[in-house]
Chains A and B, each alone.
Chain A
Amino acid sequence: MKLKKYLVRALHRLQKGPGYTYKELLVWYCDNTNTHGPKRIIKEGPKKKFIWFFLTLLFASLVFWQWGILINTYLSYNVTSSLSIGFKTMKFPAVTICNANPFKYSEVKPLLKELDRLIEAALERILQPTAGNSSENVSPPLDLELWNQIPLVLIDEHDKDNPIILDIFETNQTAVGNETAVGNETSKKYKLAVKLCSQQGSDNCTYRNFSSAAQAVTEWYILQSTSILSRVPLHDRIRMGYQAEDMILACLYGAEPCNYKNFTQIYHPDHGNCYIFNWGMDEEALNSSNPGAEFGLKLILDISQQDYIPYLSSAAGARLMLHQQKSFPFLKDQGIYAMAGTETSIGVLVDELERMGYPYSDCTVNGSDVPVRNLYSQYNTSYSIQACLRSCFQNHMVEICGCGHYMFPLPAGVTYCNNEDNPGWAYCYSSLRSSIKQRQICIDSCKETCNDTQYKMTISMADWPSEASEDWIFHILSYERDMSTNVTLDRNGIIKLNIYFQEYNYRTISESAATTIVWLLSSLGGQFGFWMGGSVLCLIEFGEIIIDSLWITVIHVIGWCKGLKQRRARARYPDAPPTVSELVEAHTNLGFQPEAVGAVAGPEALPPEPGTPPPNYDSLRVRPPRGLGPAGDADTE
């Protein structure tokens, strides 16, 4: 009982609100709130009251609707971009220079000798089938083992539905004879294809068709040479490639002379030895603070075209690429060619895109959150999307074929594929490479970097050296390289390069959040203020009123419970309630007394009429007037 008393008192203390009933509370709120609408409702006449009530309701719903839109906008994390263009002192890009040809033919010849003889003999057969016999007699017998691992075949498509497959060496003379016979026809229907088998001698073979024999020969040669070269240890491969002192003849950066020692050597599987200027791995990156060719990098290269591997790369020139410091050069993707016998000028504009990370866009800052093991991290290079894609491919290759492809770095404990150890690798690689599914997996798992830097190049070319100056230039460069008076250079090998910043050297697109929390708050405030003149304080007021009305509800509930209790207590009376006749009797006959009345004491035990409850002060206080209670309820809802 004491607890109850305490509770009631606490209730009263807490409930020192502005009214006892919902209606009072609401009226008080409307009159005193700082939002603009409600005051009008109670201040105006009946018709206007209605209008104002309607308006307030409309404005409140408008506010909530627009708040919804604003919050939605905020959660969509839009960005705005700002663009800036100009010239500023910037890090000179890292410049990677390679020869289009990976190895010196003179060095690599012993390894590829058999292969070259095979392809030459095959070409003889294909091109001049009748003359082929004589040359074959002269040459020593061919090592057909290499051939049989991945043979080239001729496909005779005269009969569309039933093409005849002719192996170039294994077929007997009749097949060749056939070829001669039809060769004179106007429409040639022979096609060259590479036969790839999952296991040597097995029937599970595919024929990679080529519309052009040149392409087929190149593909075949690449597959074969990859297999041979993958068995050569790395330091031998580096030795077979072009050395810096042979390749880089002259170097000038701005006004400062530089030489091949300023270049970092890196072994690139596609292009052999590559040399990177200003990679920034060991030393600080160089800055350039002046535009124009005078202040850029000037190089003279020798690609010694005579020493190219004839079947491997048919294009001759230097391959170069501009990239960011500490990133791996992916020359096949981003590289450009420089032609021999020309001066190539490259004006550079750094096109940067700085993006906000999560949640604004789905990009990665350093690649640590990408589920692909980055194999290029062994070069200490930063993450890039190309590195991710290649690593992804190599990982798949190791998983499916059991060995790594020669063109990509190796995961730990795996060897490169070659024909001896992995006879089916070419088949496996070929099917993996053309698999759309595998590519899609890699595309889905790799993420682009948030900071995307591109070097926009304006390339122009001129003939170099000019005919008049050619003699002395070749002479000096040859002398400097070999200390001999013999001219060892010619137009087919020499390249001049100028790489410099343009007048405007940067274009930066940087993102910033379009909707910050400050923006959100001011917009929310603006909306609320615009429609209703409200602020956060108004919300607090409203909250207060809700708490108040909650208390009123609590008091109501308590009152109702009490009433219920009393009714229950009444129901516990042993007697049945008096009947109407009894009551009438009691009313009219003053002497009439029901017997049971005396048994239970208490004023409430004497209900003279069932409608009137006994006076109960407590309940009176807490309970609202009968008429107003439900009305107040309806209002709050």
Chain B
Amino acid sequence: AVTAPGKKITARLKRTLPVRGPQAPTLSELMRWYCLNTNTHGCRRIVVSRGRLRRLLWILLTLSAVGLILWQCAELLMNYYSASVSVTVQFQKLPFPAVTICNINPYKYSAVKEYLSELDKETKKALETFYGFSEGKSKVRRSVDEWNSTGSDFFQQIPLLKVEDFSRTATDLHSGQKRKIEGSVFHKDSSIVNSGDSNDIIGFQLCDANNSSECALYTFSSGVNAIQEWYKLHYMNIMAQIPLETKEKLSYSADDLLLTCFFDGLSCDKRHFTRFHHPLHGNCYTFNSGESGTILSTSTGGSEYGLQVVLYIDEADYNPFLVTSTGAKIIVHDQNEYPFIEDIGTEIETAAATSIGMHFTRSRKLSKPYSDCTETGADIPVENLYNKSYSLQICLHSCFQKAMVDSCGCAQYAQPLPAGAEYCNYKKNPNWMYCYYRLHEKFVKEQLGCQQICKDACSFKEWALTTSIAQWPSTVSEDWMLRVLSWDKGQKLNKKLNKTDLANLMVFYKDLNERFISENPANTLVILLSNFGGQLGLWMSCSVVCVIEIVEVFFIDSLSIVLRRQWQKAKKWWRDRQRGGAGKAPRAGDPERQGHDNPACTDEDLPTFTTALRLPLPQDSPLPRTPPPNYSTLRLETAFTEQLPDTLELGQH
């Protein structure tokens, strides 16, 4: 009578909740079952081993193996995003890069003089006042007179100053007055400034136009730098007001710059060059810019088969203050790249043959998640102001220009215009210089955030240049060479060329080997899985099947066992409550125990091979908790031998 409710419950359970899920009725049984039947190696040993020590040892070993697997797999996962580098060299016909050539002097001085006359006068005056330099007394006198007559407040706003460092007073160029310097002092080149003996420092002061107390003084250790910097400041101001078409006319034409051209053994002329106006270098000419739709290529290396040009550098027509060196600047770049000639140009000497041997390297990095680079620049929140493909340089310049437009209200002269903005000039934006210098200071100190926003491009082409110089023309060939080149130049130029006005340039491929450096993912998913498999197999002879087993046994089965127990407990408790004070609940023991003691329960167990084949249960299996024999070979073998005599008999027939 006492056990009756328990049995009833089990019977009912079997009916309503057939024992399908778990392999064993209790957790410990389940574990034992798992250990005996699992495919991993360690667990079985734990169950099978005899002796506490040995069992403990096996437990330890199995656990450490599991630990090792977890550690190694974590390492594998962490190293998944690593890249390996491969270098391939291909010998092939190579596309010739675009070669941009500029005269160092942006505009013909004779043509641009009318715009710059006031500035030049001012500069000359400064030179005379501060350094006692004059080209000719009368000239300067006259210019000073003119100065007084024209009178421009523009120059007065930002005059050159002579600073006495200790007293912090400055002498104005024009008024000669000494005035107290306020505001912060910026030293453009810092090293000598603080040394005691140089107390005459030249510089200029930029003030906020709205708030004149906010000033920044820029000083230079050398007057050369100071005057050039100051000149450039005003020069940009003036040039910003001249429309582009006029500026293009003021600068050199292709006929002016290029005397001869020879490419790949064939003659070329100005039609092969594309004009491109650079704000600081005037008209530049790009050879092989690809604008005509075709990109020239070379199929032979060597100096004879590259680009050979003779440039005419009219040294007499140079701006004396803006540029102080003579020659040309060239840059070798890809057709899609913007030539940042002021940043990475190579300078070409006059009266010399510069031979530039190129070696082509193409590189490709892997983008996210391998490294932080950008493929197209589309994911960078900076608008590309240049009409060329993305590069870090473009991004930085665009970013600065954007910041400039945002904070100063106008665009800086050296970079392209964003939509809706216009170049700064003193008339419209009296405050821009101070603003620009402040902003530039910030930019250099990485306070604008441009350096953080801009990423480098993932793929780039590089032409490694080997530059060497020879004397040209040689002393014996100078005579005829200059005569013939003068004839080439034609009647426009009614004088014989001077060799210091000429520069010979050869740009060629040293070899046609293209080096391609690329990053490749070191790991693919396949390899990662292989490595996982290797680790699992090495330590525990485990596979995904084991993992599924673990999930099945430890999560699903265990959970269902626990749930079932809880359910039964709850039911029992409920029943006990129903009975009220009928007395203590019978200690019938665990229902699960009953469950597995009950042979009927085993019927509900998942069919084993034997049951599947509907073979009779082995007679000598009294306890259902022992698993069915792993290898049923024995049984089948017997079935086989039973039949064997039969066959033998037949053989004798």
Q: Which of B473, B485, B605 has the most CB of A within 10 A?
A: B473
Encode A316-359 as 1/0 by CB contact (under 8 A) with B: 11000000000000101111111111001000000001010000
Residues of A near B544 (CB, < 8 A) are: 59, 530-532
Q: Is B477 an interface residue (CB 8 A)?
A: yes
Residues of B near A436 (CB, < 8 A) are: 299
Residues of A near B357 (CB, < 8 A) are: 333-334, 336
In the complex, identify which listed stretch (B52-60, B160-168, B198-206, B302-310) lies at the interface while the others stay far away: B302-310
Residues of B near A187 (CB, < 8 A) are: 490
Beyond A310-B477, A385-B91, A618-B650, whether A66 also contacts B466 by CB under 8 A is: no
Separation of A488 and B605 alpha carbons in the complex (Å): 113
Separation of A235 and B349 alpha carbons in the complex (Å): 39
Query: B91 and A531: CB pair below 8 A?
Result: no
Q: Is B316 an interface residue (CB 8 A)?
A: no
Query: A522 and B534: CB pair below 8 A?
Result: yes
In the complex, identify which listed stretch (A212-220, A280-288, A398-406, A567-575) lies at the interface while the others stay far away: A212-220
Query: A339 and B488: CB pair below 8 A?
Result: no
Separation of A443 and B305 alpha carbons in the complex (Å): 15
Q: Is A624 an interface residue (CB 8 A)?
A: no
Beyond A316-B471, A531-B543, whether A8 also contacts B526 by CB under 8 A is: no
Partner of B609, one of A27, A79, A514, A535: A27
Residues of B near A334 (CB, < 8 A) are: 357, 510-511
Q: Which of A311, A436, A439, A529 has the most CB of B within 10 A?
A: A529
List which B498-517 residues lie within 8 A (CB) of chain A.
504, 510-513, 515
Q: Is B487 an interface residue (CB 8 A)?
A: yes
Query: B545 and A59: CB pair below 8 A?
Result: yes
Encode A31-43 as 1/0 by CB contact (under 8 A) with B: 1100011011011
B interface bracket (residues with beta carbon within 8 Å of A): 35 or more
Query: A47 and B20: CB pair below 8 A?
Result: yes
Residues of B near A31 (CB, < 8 A) are: 609, 630-633
Query: B267 and A210: CB pair below 8 A?
Result: yes
Query: A188 and B490: CB pair below 8 A?
Result: yes
Partner of B545, one of A42, A511, A532: A532
Beyond A20-B640, A527-B529, A530-B536, whether A454 also contacts B359 by CB under 8 A is: yes
Beyond A43-B609, A212-B260, whether A452 also contacts B533 by CB under 8 A is: no
Residues of B near A210 (CB, < 8 A) are: 262, 267
Q: Is A83 an interface residue (CB 8 A)?
A: yes
Separation of A439 and B92 alpha carbons in the complex (Å): 11
Query: A315 and B491: CB pair below 8 A?
Result: no
Query: B545 and A215: CB pair below 8 A?
Result: no
Query: B471 and A340: CB pair below 8 A?
Result: yes
Query: A526 and B484: CB pair below 8 A?
Result: no
Q: Is B653 an interface residue (CB 8 A)?
A: yes
List which A516-559 residues lie within 8 A (CB) of chain B.
522-535
Query: B476 and A55: CB pair below 8 A?
Result: no
Residue of B nearest to A120 (CB): B480
Encode A561-593 as 1/0 by CB contact (under 8 A) with B: 000000000000000000000000000000000
Q: Which of B260, B520, B527, B530 has the most CB of A within 10 A?
A: B530
Separation of A306 and B477 alpha carbons in the complex (Å): 10
Q: Is B563 an interface residue (CB 8 A)?
A: no
Q: Is B16 an interface residue (CB 8 A)?
A: no
Query: A434 and B265: CB pair below 8 A?
Result: yes
Q: Is B269 an interface residue (CB 8 A)?
A: yes
Q: Measured between C-beta atoms, what is the minimum distance from B363 to chain A in Å?
A: 13
In the complex, identify which listed stretch (B80-88, B277-285, B372-380) lies at the interface while the others stay far away: B80-88
Q: Is A89 an interface residue (CB 8 A)?
A: no
Beyond A42-B612, A45-B606, A448-B91, whether A212 also contacts B267 by CB under 8 A is: yes
Query: B472 and A18: CB pair below 8 A?
Result: no
Query: A526 and B474: CB pair below 8 A?
Result: no
List which A51-72 residues lie within 8 A (CB) of chain B.
55, 59, 66, 69-70
Beyond A127-B483, A525-B537, whether A440 also contacts B529 by CB under 8 A is: no
Query: A530 and B476: CB pair below 8 A?
Result: no
Residues of B near A185 (CB, < 8 A) are: 491
Q: Is B624 an interface residue (CB 8 A)?
A: no
Query: A330 and B87: CB pair below 8 A?
Result: no
Q: Measured between C-beta atoms, what is the minimum distance from B136 to chain A in Å?
A: 30
Separation of A339 and B647 alpha carbons in the complex (Å): 103
List which B606-624 residues lie within 8 A (CB) of chain A.
606-609, 612-613
Encode A436-456 as 1/0 by CB contact (under 8 A) with B: 100110010011100010101
Query: A211 and B261: CB pair below 8 A?
Result: yes
Query: A311 and B636: CB pair below 8 A?
Result: no
Query: A211 and B269: CB pair below 8 A?
Result: yes
Separation of A186 and B464 alpha carbons in the complex (Å): 42
Separation of A396 and B359 alpha carbons in the complex (Å): 27
Query: A69 and B526: CB pair below 8 A?
Result: yes
Q: Measured between C-beta atoms, what is the minimum distance from B618 to chain A in Å?
A: 15
Encode B336-360 as 1/0 by CB contact (under 8 A) with A: 0000000000000000110101010
Query: A386 and B511: CB pair below 8 A?
Result: yes
Partner of B87, one of A32, A447, A511, A532: A511
Residues of A near B295 (CB, < 8 A) are: none
Separation of A531 and B355 alpha carbons in the complex (Å): 62
Query: A459 and B543: CB pair below 8 A?
Result: no
Residues of A near B526 (CB, < 8 A) are: 66, 69-70, 73, 523, 527
Partner of B542, one of A79, A120, A363, A533: A533
Q: Is B548 an interface residue (CB 8 A)?
A: yes
Query: A617 and B650: CB pair below 8 A?
Result: yes
Residue of B nearest to A440 (CB): B299
Q: Is B467 an interface residue (CB 8 A)?
A: yes
Q: Measured between C-beta atoms, what is the minimum distance from A176 to chain B in Å?
A: 15
Q: Measured between C-beta atoms, what is the minimum distance from A348 to chain B in Å?
A: 12
Beyond A214-B488, A215-B267, A317-B471, whether A440 also contacts B93 by CB under 8 A is: yes
Separation of A201 and B437 alpha carbons in the complex (Å): 73
Q: Is B643 an interface residue (CB 8 A)?
A: yes
Separation of A328 and B328 alpha carbons in the complex (Å): 35
Q: Measured between C-beta atoms, what is the minimum distance from B514 to chain A in Å?
A: 10
Residues of B near A217 (CB, < 8 A) are: 480, 484
Residues of B near A439 (CB, < 8 A) are: 93, 299-300
Q: Is B268 an interface residue (CB 8 A)?
A: yes
Query: B481 and A336: CB pair below 8 A?
Result: no
Beyond A123-B483, A217-B484, A313-B477, whether A531 also contacts B533 by CB under 8 A is: yes
Separation of A314 and B477 alpha carbons in the complex (Å): 6
Residues of B near A411 (CB, < 8 A) are: none
Query: B534 and A36: CB pair below 8 A?
Result: no
Query: B643 and A621: CB pair below 8 A?
Result: yes
Query: B646 and A621: CB pair below 8 A?
Result: yes
Q: Which of A27, A100, A214, A617 has the most CB of B within 10 A?
A: A214
Query: A105 and B476: CB pair below 8 A?
Result: yes
Query: B651 and A8: CB pair below 8 A?
Result: yes
Residues of B near A293 (CB, < 8 A) are: none
Q: Measured between C-beta atoms, what is the minimum distance from A383 to chain B in Å?
A: 13
22 residue pairs bridging A and B, Cβ less than 8 Å apart? A19-B636, A31-B609, A31-B633, A42-B609, A44-B606, A81-B86, A105-B476, A123-B483, A212-B261, A213-B484, A213-B487, A305-B476, A313-B477, A314-B477, A385-B512, A443-B92, A511-B86, A523-B526, A530-B543, A531-B545, A532-B545, A535-B537
In order of increasing CB-CB distance, the 6 nearest A-B pairs are A530-B533, A45-B606, A212-B260, A526-B530, A533-B543, A316-B474
A-B contact sample (8 more), CB < 8 A, given A31-B609, A524-B530:
A5-B651, A8-B651, A212-B310, A459-B468, A523-B526, A523-B534, A526-B531, A529-B534
Which B residues form the contact surface with A (CB < 8 A)? 20, 37, 39, 84-93, 259-262, 265-269, 299-304, 308, 310, 352-353, 355, 357, 359, 464, 466-477, 479-481, 483-485, 487-488, 490-492, 504, 510-513, 515, 520, 524, 526-527, 529-534, 536-537, 541-546, 548-549, 605-609, 612-613, 628, 630-633, 636-637, 640, 643, 646-647, 649-651, 653
